[in-house]
Structure 1
Amino acid sequence: MESIPITYDYYAREEWANLNHQKMAIPLSEEELQILISTQDQLNLQDIQEIYLPLLHYLTLIYEEYRSLQQKRASFLQKRNTSIPFIIGIAGSVAVGKSTLARVLQVLLERIYGLSVSLVTTDGFLYSKSELEQKGLLDRKGFPESYDMPKLLHFLEELKVGKKEVHAPIYSHEKYDIIPDEVITICEPDIVIVEGINVLQNPWNERIYISDFFDFSIYLDAEIFRIQQWYCDRFLLLRGNEFATKEEAIRIATKVWKSINEKNLLEYILPTKYRADLILHKTKSHFMDYILLKK
């Protein structure tokens, strides 16, 4: 394990599990949980009990303080208390399990605490396939320049000024493209979860970061060789039938990983890890073995 910055506290899985002071029951069946899990990811009810429930308790403590501060600030400034959502950012590599984490957090926050939670993925803010072709960026899809960052920042700005209705574009993983004329409509939720590989990255200009809009951020971490294996396993499952042999599919998956995803991870994603408030580390079989929490 790499050295841990002094700005973080380390919690082994067992220590973290003991922070579940509320001893909350899990409002999910095993069948419901499996529906929320992304392809090739792994998660069970023990993970929910030992990792997610303490995390939820900690998140809601921060959320309650956030709401209290909003009310006090509005009172001090003699303004109407506008409902501005608490925003959670979730970052990490392709194939590390961000979508599963985001969906499970959304469902648990709604079922346990009765909160209204919207989920947005930054994939929707990629340029369309035709725009990427025009810009010569089709082979750079997922890299910082392939996103419409001004559009993403404008979306976050609208959330943080309390606009009653905000729209986000939708990306189709089946079509590998933006769905034209379709949007997610967000209407005054308590919490918005923003998930994507780029949510903690450098600003598109020199004045603002995406993470400036977050009230809490999570980085999902694992060793690179494990993420590569998870990516290749997923590639084989989703696209293996497109190739003449399994060996050919593995060769193409490895090539794509090395030339695009690993390069993007090393140059742009991994360097953002220590901007996160909490780092959730995975090991073999997606087992969550430790947590780092910013002091």
Structure 2
Amino acid sequence: MQSRFSLTTGYSDALEQLCSHLLSQRSGNRRYILAVAGPPASGKSTLAEQLVAKLNATRTDCAALLPMDGFHLDNRILAARGLLSRKGAPETFDAVGFGVTVQRLHDRSSEIIHPVFDRTRDLAVAGAGVITPEVDVIVVEGNYLLLKQEPWVSMRTHYDLTVFLSPPMEVLEQRLIERWLIHGLEEAAAQARAQGNDIPNARLVLEHSDAGDIRLSDR
């Protein structure tokens, strides 16, 4: 069993401390799996990407990223199910397929191929991500990794350490509206889009997720 990690400082120092911890956990053939969860616009993707980049700066192929976003259902399927306007909600992901991939993460006998979400085209690209057998640390990132419902709960046994990002709801609301403004929507339309889907998803994550081994809230 891997030792648990205690974070003793705030968010600003989390990257350095997490990186040091992950480097210290590389041993033998066993991979170390870190899960980074949190609501949309919490900063989890940025933290996960920076962690992987920092680890790979110490050694090529030291770390790899597995984003949950690659398992978005295609827009055509969502439209057929009446879920297109709810894209990003738990039911709009291939959660079972994601879980199967998570189960494989400790297997170093072959490379793991996974889909990656292309935001410019708003779709998941099959076979766009590769985790090679040489990788020691895998950072899994997504909104619902710590949600207190299946199939997310069953995946938790595969994580060695979990981090949950939880900025205040008012901060998340501002960021989520800003996202749509950046995409060119007018203020009223941006607020409507955020209130109709993104903000309910954020509230779901904050209110119905486990706290994780480490909780970061001061950002």
TM range (shorter): 0.7 to 0.9
Q: How does 1:141-290 map to 2 (within 5 A)?
A: 141-179=87-125, 181-188=126-133, 189-205=135-151, 209-237=154-182, 239-240=183-184, 243=185, 249-274=186-211, 276-283=212-219
- Number of matched residues? 214
* Alignment RMSD: 2.5
Residue type of the partner of 1:282?
A: D
Change (3 A) 1:99 1:270: same
C-alpha separation in 2, matches of 1:176 and 1:170: 11
Q: CA deviation at 1:160?
A: 2.5
Task: Give the TM-score, by structure 2 length.
Answer: 0.85
| Structure 1 unaligned regions, length at least 5 | 1-8, 17-46, 72-82, 244-248, 284-295
C-alpha separation in 1, matches of 2:206 and 2:75: 22
The 8 Å contact of residues 201 and 210 in structure 1, kept in 2 or not, is answered as no
Task: Give the TM-score, by structure 1 length.
Answer: 0.65
Task: Give yes or no for the alignment of 1:123 onto 2:69.
Answer: yes
Q: CA deviation at 1:162?
A: 3.2
C-alpha separation in 2, matches of 1:136 and 1:258: 18
Higher relative contact order (CA 8 A, sep 6+): 2
Change (3 A) 1:117 1:11: closer
Q: CA deviation at 1:133?
A: 1.5
The 8 Å contact of residues 200 and 210 in structure 1, kept in 2 or not, is answered as no
The 8 Å contact of residues 200 and 209 in structure 1, kept in 2 or not, is answered as no
C-alpha separation in 2, matches of 1:126 and 1:60: 31
The 8 Å contact of residues 165 and 215 in structure 2, kept in 1 or not, is answered as yes
Residue in structure 1 matching 2:15, options 52, 55, 80: 52
The 8 Å contact of residues 42 and 167 in structure 2, kept in 1 or not, is answered as yes
Q: CA deviation at 1:11?
A: 4.5
Q: CA deviation at 1:173?
A: 0.8
Change (3 A) 1:166 1:12: closer
For residues 224-275 of structure 1, give each alpha carbon's deviation from its aligned partner in whole angstroms, at most 9, with x where no partner exists.
11111122223222x12xx4xxxxx22122122222122122224442141x
Q: CA deviation at 1:203?
A: 4.5
C-alpha separation in 2, matches of 1:124 and 1:116: 21
